[in-house]
Each structure stands twice: as structure tokens, then as C-alpha cells.
């Protein structure tokens, strides 16, 4: 043992201001490491106010150069925060970056423990573990892979459109995949947008057209991603393009097929169940692309074998009943997910009566009702289709900020409720009540809009509505919907009869968000939104390199924030594309052919099919391009023939012993 | 002696879920028992059961294995392999005369800092009830073995 080359280890203990030093005696930890870990090779141990500052990094660089350090341990924050920082510092000083270890004494010690003596002792153990481990670290070379300049954007709502346009305008190719027949997303359903009351279609459709006609954008609507493999720089993506039964090459979008189709179907998606479409349809007049799709489930020809009215009248013979689903394979370097949200199902709040009381509407129903292109041509009327309401109650926080449903605030519902109040007031002159728990009108010009709606005479009642009922207690309540609410400002129970109730429903993650997350290898939060890499400093990246999340897929947000995120993710993607290559962590498993017994236990363990059995040599081999570095095969190999870089048995065992101070025990000479 | 017994726990975490859960517990300043010392692996599937035995023989009183929830593994399904090994390991421990409760498997997603903190504290209390493992105690007392030390005295010596 003693003849082995002794490593020269430097230990740097960070105060992190008072974040660490407030709970851990950092000076004591550094002194302890210098004394007790000397035999492990520690030749210098320092403490410093902020190791991540440029002065802190220079301290390490200087010691590497002047003291000839061969290993570095930084006792500071989580490696997920600053591992890269210190690895880069080491690299700058000529030391291989993988010979640096971070010992997390902030997230794992000072922030979670209170007793200073205990926290200091634990910090010593963590440092001891890291020192033992770092000695066993081996120099590794980053793996550089080229970046395919093509990008996939999944979801054609406003966030996805923005992302696609930014990248396409910079001169790179984008595949924009949308599940519905047209891009546009939820925004295409709205009439007005808060707080400016811009017409939603007026500001959205130019963007849709731009995306639809952009030479750098391949638009794949009525399509879904079904498989993703590979990694940042080179993802292989399989897309299912569902049969439209309309030949896009021939179709001119004239609309005659829709006109002639005899089959009317309730439109549950775009018209939220309030209006009708045909069996062959474009969801709305400004749809992009403007080619219709045929709804096989409802088409008379597909159901009964006769009709073909569309085919007969189509002037360009574009109807093709024999069209099949198509599978498209593409290669991209980066992926942006803009898969949006589902509206909270207001039926779940049964005491508000949606689905049971006809004149209770959801927010999206009201959007269609107030939309000039909607089923009532913008007339705000009751479910009978003709009576204008004289009084309307708008209930906020439906399904949000409620322990029975979703704990979180859906962000947009207050402003949405205020917008509805304004529109009802403007178009019907009805008396409007808004029922809110707290009024949340943060962001530019939002509170001013609230003031405006207040001045217009909308009545605000602070309190959570208990019930919406038809059961009248007195003459004046007959034939009305009665809203039962505790007015918490007046301190009393109130019953307010109205003609119409609008539920400002919250947003929730897509029903299939978890499956989509799995498909792309990213995780969801407890609420089901996609998890960003860092909630503050990296809100559009994910833990999986090359996959970005924008818009409501990441969490509830309004249109301006969705657009900002869409653009932000594009900047990140362009940064990757322009760098032309990306460095991957060199954490890979490999088989020592001499030690491999050919038992093939590892073969079935790899979910990435990276391990192949070479029958000629009777050994298994790992393909480093496919290996993702999980290490499961390393743990399973009975011959110890597989080793994993970065996380070798020797490194892990050394860390175990170090954490338990066994490294301090003089080892007996093996006789 | 168990009255003031402070267990020493080694915790194995995976890079993608449970280590991030511990990071989140830190960021959110959730206090938990200081007895656990963590090792980060890329995946719970990396956990070689001999690491657990090594931890016991080096002085740990309990070992916590943590990873992504089933179905949420960053490497698709490797946490299921960890689960299988864990169940086998528990049987082996019984064969070796160790209470199988000294090893515990916890699933914690990156969002479950609170769960990570609560499970850690609960595990420390479970081990506290079991008392020290005391592996190697007899050897320490016998003359010809200095290799394995009783851990609490080692800790005392190390931190003296």
C-alpha cells in the first residue's frame, strides 16, 4: 500500500455566507480534514466565504498549480448546482475535471439540521467520504457528440408556435407536431384576451399562418409522437400521422366537402360541446393547415358504406377513403414540449351543479358563447339559445386552491373571471357578481383591469361559494340559480339569485402528461406538471438534456408568459445548435473481456439494448453509444467484469468507508 | 446503553429522483434527523447488495435505499431491479442474523422533499429502537483483530 503513489488532495470548505457557516463550524471542518485526513492525501484544507465566487475558484486553481494538487474536494452545495463550476475551474488549472468531488454540506447538512455540533460532525463525515472517494476517481474525457440542427416542437398552441417561429426564423428546420387537425391550441377558442381585450384570433392567426407557411417549418397536424430514442444531439423520433382521408397535395381547402357533408356532429373539442361540426371538418375557419379531416367514427360512409357526398363534390378529387395512418421517422437534436393543459372538469365540484343545472357554464363554454365566430355569434344567452341573462354570477377558483381538487393556484382564473365580467356587462348590461377567495391580479396592467371592472359596476363578493342550487326558498328565487355563499367581508351568509353561473375553472396537467413525460424521459411534479431543471434559474430546461418544456405543460400560466417561455426555450436550442456539438457525461459501463465468463446475466438487464453477447468470443460487450450509465449491469455482474466509469465499485466502497470513518483506521498488514 | 444511542445510517440515493428530493428538502429547509449520510448513485439499479453489507461491516446501523417511484425511473425500469435485489437482500440479512428491518427501501420523486425528510426521520427512529448493530464488537474486544472496530468508539475517536 505504502509504495502506491500518494494523491495530493485539496479540501475547500465553503461558508456560503451564513448558509453553511451559520450551522456548521466550517473552520473546524477544514482544520479537522487537514489533520485527520492527512493519511488519505489531504495536503491542504481551506475555508472560504464563497467558493463559487471567482476568487474562490482562483484559490483552487492557484493551489492546483502551485501545490500540485491531483484531487480536489469542495465541501459546499449540491453537485447539481455547482459541480460544473468547480470542474471547470479544475480544467482551467490543468486538472482533469472528473478528479473533483463535491461534498454537499448545505442541502444535506446546514439547511436540514439545526444543532451546530451535530451538523459539524456530519460535515466531517461527508467530507471524509468525499476525500476517500476522490482518491479513487479516474481522469475521464468528455464525450462530444454532434448536434443535429433540426428541432422537434410538440404542441401547436401559442407557446409551441412561438418556439417554432423563433428557431425557423434563425434559419434552422423545425418539425411542429400537433395532435388536433389545426394548430392554434386553446388560444384559438378564446374571444378576447385579458387585460387589453385584444381579439384573440386577430393576434393569433397571423402567427399560425406564419408557422404554416414558413419554409423552415414542417407542419405535422393530426399527428402524434409515438416513440423517442437517442439523446441530446441525435434523437430519433417516430411520429404517427393519422389518416385525414383527404389528400393534402390535392386539397385546396375550398370547404365544399364540409358544406355537402350531411352528417352533423356535436363539436366537443373546439366548440366545447355548444356547437356542431360536420363529419368532415376543419375545426374553425382560420385553421392552419386548412385541409379538413374526416372523423371516421361519425362518417356515414365509414359507418354504413354509402354516402361519399364529399367525394362526389370535391372539385380536385382530394377525398381518399383508402388513406392509411402514416409513420414518419425524423432525426432531431433538440425537442421542445409545448403540450399545454386540460381544463379542470367542473363536474367534479358537484355542488356547483355543472352538467346538472343547465345554466351553469364552464369558462371554455363561455369563451365560445362570447366569441363572434362561436355557436351563438357572440350573443351571451342561456342554454335555451335565446334568453339574455339579467344577472350573472362568476365563481373563481373552481377546482383550484382547494384541497379536495387541486392545491395550486391556476394563475389565469382571476383575470379570466374579470374578463368575463367585463364582456357580460358590455354585451348584456346584466348585473354581474364575481365570487372570489383572493383577487390575484399580478403582472403588468392586470390590476388596472380589475379597477376598470370595479368601476363598471361589477359586484364583488369575497367568499368561497358553498353551493349553486335551483331550490328556491322564496318567491324572488323561483326559476333562478341561487348562489349560497359566506360573504367574509360582511361576515354573513348570503343567497344571491342569478340567471347564469360561469365557473372560472382552473387548469390541470394533460390527462396523459405522465405517459408523455415517460416517452420523452422527463418527470412530472406531484401535481402532474412537467418538472423544470431549476424552478428559478432554469425554468424551461429539464433534467434530460435536449428536452425543453414551455407554456402550460410546465405549470399554469397566461399567454404572455407562455410566449416568453416559448422564445426562451428556442434561445436555449439555438445555443446548442450553434455550438455544433455537446459534451456528454462520460459515465458508461464497459466489460473486461478477460474477466467475463459469458454468463449473459447482464444481457437482459439493459433497457437500452446496449449489451450484446458476442457468441464467437463467448463474452458480452457494451455499446458505449447506447449505454446511458445507470450501472445496473455493473451491480449484477457476478464476475465483477463490468465496471462503470464515475461510479466504480472502488469509488463507492471508498465513500462508504469514508463516511463511516473506517478510512481513519490503520489497516493491518495482510499477512 | 440504547438510551443515548445515535444510529448511523448510510443512505443510497439515485441521481434523478431521491437525491433531488434530498436537495429539495434542503432548499425548503425541512429539518430531519442528522443520522443519515448519503451516497449518490446514478440509479438505484446501481446498488450492488454488497454495498449494503459493506456499510454494515464498516459500522452502519441501518441502510436506506432510495430511488424513483416504480414507473418513473430515469432509466425506464432499473428501480424494479433494485426492488428485486432489496427483497432478496432482506432474506440474506436474516440468514446472517441481522434484523431485515435494518435496510429500508424508499421511493421518493424529485418533488418529494417532504417525504424524503419524513422517511429518513422515521427510519432513524426504527433503527434507534433496534439498537446498535454492533458488528465486530466482539472482535474489537478480542486481541487479534483491530480491523473491525465498534463503530461508536470509532466515531468518537474520529471526531475527538
Query: pLDDT tens for residues B13-42?
Result: 999 899 999 999 999 999 999 999 999 999
Cβ within 8 Å, pair B158-A124: yes
Q: Residue A636: closest CA among chain B residues belongs to which residue?
A: B48
Which of B9, B20, B26, B121 to probe the A interface (max A CBs under 10 A)? B26
In this complex, is the C-beta atom of B8 within 8 Å of any C-beta atom belonging to chain A?
Answer: yes
Q: Where are the alpha helices (DSSP H) in A456-525?
A: 513-520
Strand partners, A329: A238
Q: Where are the alpha helices (DSSP H) in A528-670?
A: 559-579, 632-636, 649-659
d(CA A167, CA A174): 7
Residues of B in contact with A631 (CB under 8 A): 41-43, 45-46
Which of A659, A664, A670, A671 to probe the B interface (max B CBs under 10 A)? A659
- pLDDT for res B146: 45
Nearest to A226 by CA among A177, A269, A181: A177
DSSP A357-400: STTEEEHHHHHHHH-TTSTTTT----TTSSPPPSEEEEEEEESS
d(CA B136, CA B104): 22
pLDDT band, very low/low/confident/very high, at B142 (cuts 50, 70, 90): very low
Q: How many residues make up chain B in this entry? A: 160
pTM score > 0.90 for this model?
no
Cβ within 8 Å, pair A656-B55: yes
For residue A167, how many other CB atoms are within 10 A of its CB? 28
Beta carbons of A270 and A189 less than 8 angstroms apart = yes
- pLDDT for res B144: 41
d(CA A214, CA A185): 19
Q: How many helices (H) and strands (E) does chain A have?
A: 16, 34
**What residues does each domain of chain B span?**
2-131
> Please, what is the angle between helix A116-136 and helix A649-659, to 10°?
150
- pLDDT for res A522: 83
Which of B22, B34, B152 to probe the A interface (max A CBs under 10 A)? B34
Shortest Cα–Cα distance, B154 to chain A (Å): 7
Given its phi and psi angles, is residue A427 left (phi above 0), alpha (psi -120 to 50 degrees) or beta? alpha
Q: Which of residues 101-130 of B touch A (CB under 8 A)?
A: 109-112, 117
Phi then psi for A494, rounded to 5 degrees?
Answer: -130, 150
**Could you say which of A111, A114, A657 has the minimum Cβ distance to residue B58?**
A657
Cβ within 8 Å, pair B159-A124: yes
Give, in degrees to the nearest 5, the angle at Cα A366 between A360 and A367: 160
DSSP A204-235: HHHHHHHHHH-TTEEEE-SEEEEEEEEETTEE
Look up the CATH superfamily of B2-131.
Answer: Lumazine/riboflavin synthase (3.40.50.960)
Q: Which residue has the higher pLDDT, B71 or A287?
A: A287
pLDDT of residue B147 exceeding 80, the answer is: no
Domain annotation for chain A: domains and CATH numbers: 9-142 (3.40.50), 143-242+325-339+510-584 (3.50.50.60), 244-324 (3.30.70), 342-507 (3.50.50.60), 589-644 (3.30.70.20)
Residues of A in contact with B158 (CB under 8 A): 36, 124, 128, 661, 664
Using DSSP's 3-state secondary structure scheme, residue A547 falls into strand
- pLDDT for res A479: 94
Residues of A in contact with B10 (CB under 8 A): 656, 659-660
d(CA A455, CA A450): 9
Q: For chain A, what is the largest distance between any 2 Cα atoms, rounded to a whole number of angstroms?
A: 102
10-residue mean pLDDT profile of chain A (671 residues): values are 74 97 97 95 97 96 97 96 95 97 97 96 97 96 92 98 98 98 96 94 96 97 94 94 96 94 94 94 94 95 94 95 97 98 96 96 96 93 95 97 95 97 96 97 96 97 97 94 97 97 97 90 85 88 92 97 98 97 89 95 90 94 88 95 94 96 70 38
Q: Which of residues 24-43 of B touch A (CB under 8 A)?
A: 25-27, 29-32, 34, 37-43
Cβ within 8 Å, pair B110-A523: yes
pLDDT band, very low/low/confident/very high, at B158 (cuts 50, 70, 90): confident
> Please, what is the angle between helix B151-159 and helix A116-136, to 10°?
100
Which of A605, A630, A639, A664 to probe the B interface (max B CBs under 10 A)? A630
Residues of A in contact with B62 (CB under 8 A): none
Shortest Cα–Cα distance, A432 to chain B (Å): 41
Grid cell for residue A225: 409522437
What's the N-to-C CA distance of chain A in angstroms?
13
**Could you say which of B22, B34, B37 has the minimum Cβ distance to residue A107?**
B22
- pLDDT for res B3: 58
Residues of B in contact with A79 (CB under 8 A): 40
Cβ within 8 Å, pair B42-A634: no
Handedness of CA A126, A128, A131, A136 (dihedral sign): negative
Strand partners, A246: A319
Residue A529 is classified by DSSP as P
Shortest Cα–Cα distance, A474 to chain B (Å): 51
For residue B70, how many other CB atoms are within 10 A of its CB? 12
Nearest to A590 by CA among A553, A631, A531: A631
Handedness of CA A460, A464, A469, A472 (dihedral sign): negative
| Predicted complex ipTM | 0.94
Residues of A in contact with B59 (CB under 8 A): 660-662
In this complex, is the C-beta atom of B156 within 8 Å of any C-beta atom belonging to chain A?
Answer: no
Residues of A in contact with B17 (CB under 8 A): 523
pLDDT of residue B143 exceeding 60, the answer is: no
Give the CA distances from residue A395 to residues A347, A366, A454, B43, in Å, rounded to whole numbers and listed in that order.
14, 13, 16, 46
d(CA A15, CA A29): 11
Burial, A268: exposed, middle or buried (Cβ in 10 Å; 0-12, 13-18, 19+)? exposed
Q: How many residues make up chain A in this entry? A: 671
Amino acid at each position: 500500500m505504502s509504495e502506491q503513489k500518494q494523491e495530493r488532495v485539496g479540501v475547500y470548505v465553503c461558508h456560503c455566507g451564513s448558509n453553511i457557516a451559520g450551522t456548521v463550524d466550517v473552520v473546524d471542518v477544514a482544520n479537522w480534514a487537514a489533520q485527520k485526513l492527512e493519511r488519505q492525501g489531504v495536503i491542504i484544507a481551506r475555508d472560504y466565504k464563497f467558493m463559487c465566487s471567482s476568487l474562490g475558484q482562483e484559490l483552487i486553481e492557484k493551489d492546483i498549480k502551485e501545490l500540485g494538487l491531483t484531487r480536489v474536494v469542495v465541501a459546499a452545495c449540491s453537485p447539481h448546482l455547482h459541480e460544473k463550476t468547480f470542474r471547470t475551474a479544475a480544467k482551467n488549472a490543468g486538472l482533469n475535471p472528473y478528479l473533483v468531488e463535491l461534498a454537499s454540506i448545505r442541502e444535506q447538512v446546514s439547511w436540514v439540521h439545526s444543532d451546530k455540533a451535530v451538523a459539524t460532525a456530519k460535515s466531517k463525515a461527508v467530507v471524509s467520504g468525499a476525500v476517500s472517494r476522490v482518491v479513487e476517481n479516474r481522469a475521464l474525457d468528455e464525450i462530444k457528440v454532434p448536434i443535429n440542427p433540426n428541432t422537434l416542437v410538440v404542441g401547436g398552441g401559442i407557446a409551441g408556435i412561438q418556439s417554432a417561429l423563433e428557431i425557423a426564423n434563425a434559419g434552422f428546420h423545425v418539425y411542429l407536431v400537433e395532435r388536433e387537425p389545426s394548430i392554434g391550441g386553446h388560444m384559438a377558442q378564446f374571444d378576447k384576451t385579458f387585460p387589453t381585450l385584444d381579439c384573440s384570433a386577430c393576434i393569433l392567426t397571423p402567427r399560425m399562418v406564419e408557422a404554416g407557411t414558413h419554409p423552415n417549418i414542417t407542419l405535422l397536424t393530426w399527428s402524434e409522437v409515438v416513440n423517442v430514442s437517442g439523446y441530446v444531439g441525435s434523437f430519433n423520433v417516430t411520429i404517427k400521422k393519422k389518416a385525414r382521408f383527404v389528400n393534402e397535395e390535392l386539397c385546396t381547402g375550398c370547404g365544399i366537402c364540409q358544406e355537402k357533408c350531411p352528417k352533423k356532429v356535436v363539436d366537443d373539442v373546439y366548440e366545447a360541446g355548444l356547437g356542431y361540426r360536420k363529419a368532415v371538418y376543419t375545426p374553425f375557419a382560420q385553421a392552419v393547415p386548412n385541409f379538413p379531416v374526416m372523423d371516421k367514427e361519425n362518417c356515414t360512409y365509414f359507418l354504413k358504406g354509402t354516402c361519399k357526398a364529399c367525394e362526389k363534390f370535391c372539385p380536385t378529387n382530394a377525398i381518399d377513403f383508402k388513406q392509411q395512418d402514416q409513420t414518419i421517422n425524423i432525426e432531431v437534436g433538440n425537442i421542445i414540449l409545448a403540450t399545454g393543459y386540460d381544463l379542470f372538469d367542473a363536474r367534479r365540484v358537484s355542488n356547483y351543479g355543472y352538467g346538472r343545472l343547465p345554466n351553469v357554464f364552464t369558462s371554455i363554454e363561455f369563451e365560445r358563447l362570447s366569441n363572434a365566430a362561436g355557436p351563438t355569434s357572440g350573443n351571451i344567452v342561456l342554454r335555451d339559445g335565446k334568453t339574455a341573462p339579467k344577472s350573472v354570477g362568476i365563481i373563481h377558483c373552481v377546482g383550484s386552491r382547494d384541497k379536495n381538487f387541486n392545491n395550486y393556484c391556476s394563475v389565469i382564473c382571476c383575470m379570466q373571471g374579470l374578463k368575463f365580467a367585463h364582456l357580460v356587462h358590455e354585451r348584456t348590461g346584466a348585473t354581474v357578481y364575481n365570487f372570489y377567495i383572493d383577487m390575484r391580479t399580478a403582472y403588468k396592467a392586470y390590476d388596472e383591469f380589475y379597477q376598470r371592472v370595479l368601476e363598471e359596476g361589477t359586484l364583488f363578493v369575497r367568499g368561497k361559494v358553498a353551493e349553486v342550487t335551483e331550490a328556491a326558498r322564496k318567491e324572488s328565487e323561483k326559476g333562478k340559480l341561487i348562489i349560497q355563499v359566506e360573504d367574509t367581508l360582511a361576515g354573513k351568509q348570503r343567497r344571491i339569485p342569478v340567471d347564469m353561473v360561469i365557473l372560472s375553472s382552473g387548469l390541470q396537467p394533460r390527462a396523459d402528461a405522465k405517459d408523455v413525460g415517460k416517452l420523452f424521459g422527463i418527470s412530472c411534479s406531484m401535481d402532474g406538471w412537467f418538472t423544470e431543471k431549476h424552478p428559478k434559474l432554469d425554468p424551461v430546461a429539464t433534467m434530460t438534456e435536449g428536452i425543453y418544456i414551455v407554456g402550460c405543460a410546465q405549470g399554469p400560466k397566461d399567454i404572455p408568459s407562455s410566449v416568453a417561455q416559448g422564445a426562451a426555450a428556442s434561445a436555449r436550442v439555438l445555443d446548442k445548435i450553434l455550438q455544433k456539438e455537446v459534451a456528454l457525461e462520460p459515465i458508461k459501463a464497459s466489460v473486461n473481456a478477460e474477466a467475463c465468463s459469458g454468463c449473459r446475466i447482464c444481457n437482459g438487464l439493459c433497457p437500452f439494448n446496449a449489451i450484446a453477447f458476442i457468441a464467437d468470443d463467448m463474452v458480452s460487450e457494451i455499446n458505449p453509444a447506447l449505454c446511458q450509465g445507470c450501472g445496473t449491469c455493473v451491480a449484477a455482474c457476478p464476475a465483477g467484469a463490468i465496471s462503470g466509469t464515475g461510479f466504480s465499485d472502488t469509488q463507492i466502497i471508498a465513500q462508504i468507508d469514508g463516511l463511516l470513518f473506517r478510512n481513519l483506521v490503520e489497516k493491518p498488514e495482510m499477512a | 446503553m440504547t438510551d443515548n444511542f445515535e444510529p448511523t445510517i448510510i443512505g443510497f440515493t439515485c441521481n434523478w429522483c431521491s437525491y433531488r428530493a434530498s436537495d429539495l428538502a434542503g432548499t425548503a429547509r425541512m429539518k430531519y434527523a442528522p443520522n443519515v449520510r448519503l451516497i449518490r448513485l446514478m440509479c438505484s439499479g446501481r446498488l450492488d447488495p454488497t454495498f449494503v453489507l459493506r456499510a454494515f461491516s464498516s459500522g452502519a446501523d441501518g441502510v436506506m435505499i432510495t430511488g424513483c417511484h416504480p414507473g418513473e425511473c430515469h432509466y425506464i425500469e432499473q428501480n424494479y431491479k433494485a426492488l428485486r435485489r432489496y427483497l432478496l437482500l432482506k432474506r440474506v440479512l436474516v440468514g446472517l442474523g441481522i434484523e431485515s428491518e435494518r435496510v429500508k427501501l424508499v421511493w421518493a420523486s424529485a418533488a418529494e422533499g417532504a417525504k424524503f425528510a419524513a422517511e429518513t426521520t422515521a427510519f432513524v427512529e426504527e433503527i434507534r429502537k433496534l439498537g446498535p448493530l454492533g458488528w465486530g464488537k466482539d472482535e474489537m474486544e478480542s486481541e487479534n483483530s483491530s480491523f473491525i472496530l465498534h463503530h461508536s468508539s470509532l466515531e468518537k475517536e474520529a471526531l475527538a
